[in-house]
Structure 1
Amino acid sequence: MRVGNGTVVTEFILKGFSGLDQKLQLFLCLVLILMYLTTVMGNAAIIFLVCMDNRLQTPMYYFIGNLAFLEIWFTSCTSTKLLVILSSGRRTISVGGCFAQSSFYFALGAAEFVLLVVMSFDRYVAICQPLRYAAIMKHQLCIHLVAAVWVMGFTFLIYRLVLLSKLTFCGLNNIQHFFCDNTPLFQLSCSDVTLLWKTDVVFLLFIVLSSLCLTLASYTSIFFCILQMPAASARRKAFATCSSHLTTLAIAYGSCIALYAPSSGHVSLETNSIVALLNTVLYPFLNPFIYSLRNKAVMLALKEAMARATAQLFA
């Protein structure tokens, strides 16, 4: 990319985790490979079961299947490059690749937060208005809600790609992170990044915080509905489901706020990278276990699918 003094920046160098010695980098790489493969296979298994098992053809599992699909892409847009960095030491990324990675990261993140709101609304209707659940959560409404999630995400993706493509750089190309995050990328630009900074503020306030408020409102209503349930077993089951969901919500929202709150710019590169790992690696890794694989219906469908596959293999 050409700048005023004639310098052309064609690639960036990602400096995240550069302070680790080689053995520690290889150990971290092995851990992340196992987590990444587990994330992809676990979420892919959920998508397969939701599509193939008639018992999982319900709104809740329809949303979970979409979340699983989203998680595969969300973690892949940053984890694959990080694994290359840790395993081979190749830290370069093209300007176009950097812009694409940054745009997909934020677009998929925005779509995920909106999908979490949709899922919390689904749980609210199921627990607080069970008799009206079938009438409210019709198949057409579920399709429209998911379509709105993806349209919003990809609209944000295109918008960011257009804005990032207008940036110019002054020869410096060291990004102080393991992926093309906003702050270290903007710091290298010679352009006026005011509009992009304002976009970040809008993203944080109107996407993250508004979705958090809506999600907490749904779960607060669910909490009071649970307290009014006469059966202790029903209350325990509902509380267990909510506590699992709230754990993953705490990781997703907590890591995002920690990364993009105004004070986060004063933390070290290592601390920022560790918090980013929680957001890009740990949360997608936990999704198959907390949202689905602890669910009896999903586990039963998985066991039956494995039994059928085994029977066909040895037939």
Structure 2
Amino acid sequence: MPCSVVTGDLFAAHNDPDHPESEARLKAALAGVPGGARRIAPEQALPGDLALVHTHRQIAAIRSLCRACPPGRACYIDPDTYLTWGSFDAALYATGAAWQAVEQALDGEHSFALVRPPGHHAMPDRAMGFCLFNNVAVATARALREVDRVAIVDWDLHHGNGTQTAFYTSDRVLYCSVHQMGVFPGTGWPEEQGSGPGVGYTINAPLESGSTGADYALVFRRIFLPAIRRFEPDLVVVSAGQDAAFDDPLGSMLLRPDDFGVLTGMLLEARPGALALALEGGYGRSHAAAIGSIFAALDGARFTPREGVPKASTRLLVEAYTGAGHTVPA
């Protein structure tokens, strides 16, 4: 199956060189993209696209704050999240690129939107956690105009609280997140399962620090993949943050680059068809190698899960999900 990457230089307009989420980290990640991958230039999303997820007040506020930020400076809207004079346009390109990746996947081509700023923490009414607008949520909302069901798999180190919120009451989106327990933003517990029609369509797997590829593979094999198969989505979108890597300065997980190839391959086995991926976090030196493993899996390589024993806490979590009484989509 062919594979493309949606990326470009336009994201550099959103940049604070002293922040972990800077243009330098995207350039480092791009070193992992194989030379044969088809490159697609990003296109901007429209404000109306953003409004599928975000409030008009939030969209206007980000635009206004960016225009008020002096050129050449970074202006902070909270201790973690900055914007610049050009961030609004860069964020539109990031959101538009995520949709382009979805379009390619719907047409039968794997596609990875390597973009910034990331998006999965952005709430409908608030920017936070390095994120201005929720790229994956907006792309998913647009996809739901064309398809019936979308599964989102979020393997970023942090829980995607913004994405969860966007679809918490929906039975058309299955949201599966595996993340480090107890870190920012403090959400993503197993009891957060959705509400109303969406009960059972949010699946959170918080793991202890020091978890390895063996823990992640167990969660995928026993929790996520069976749920995806039962859900029968028309599309799978991945919030691909590689900050669970062993050398990432913002996390305490121990995944090796090949482990991201393992997870990608498992998703491909669970549901035939193309994947759409969008970059979230990832700040370590091994990020490029992790990106390379993802592309290798998309290109047909299959990675053998690294030997290791999952933590007892991970096994207990899996048993709780697979035991009687836990609501999962049917």
TM-score, normalised to structure 1, is 0.26
- Would you tell me which structure has more strand in proportion to its own residues? 2
Higher relative contact order (CA 8 A, sep 6+): 1
TM-score, normalised to structure 2, is 0.25
- Would you tell me which structure has more helix in proportion to its own residues? 1
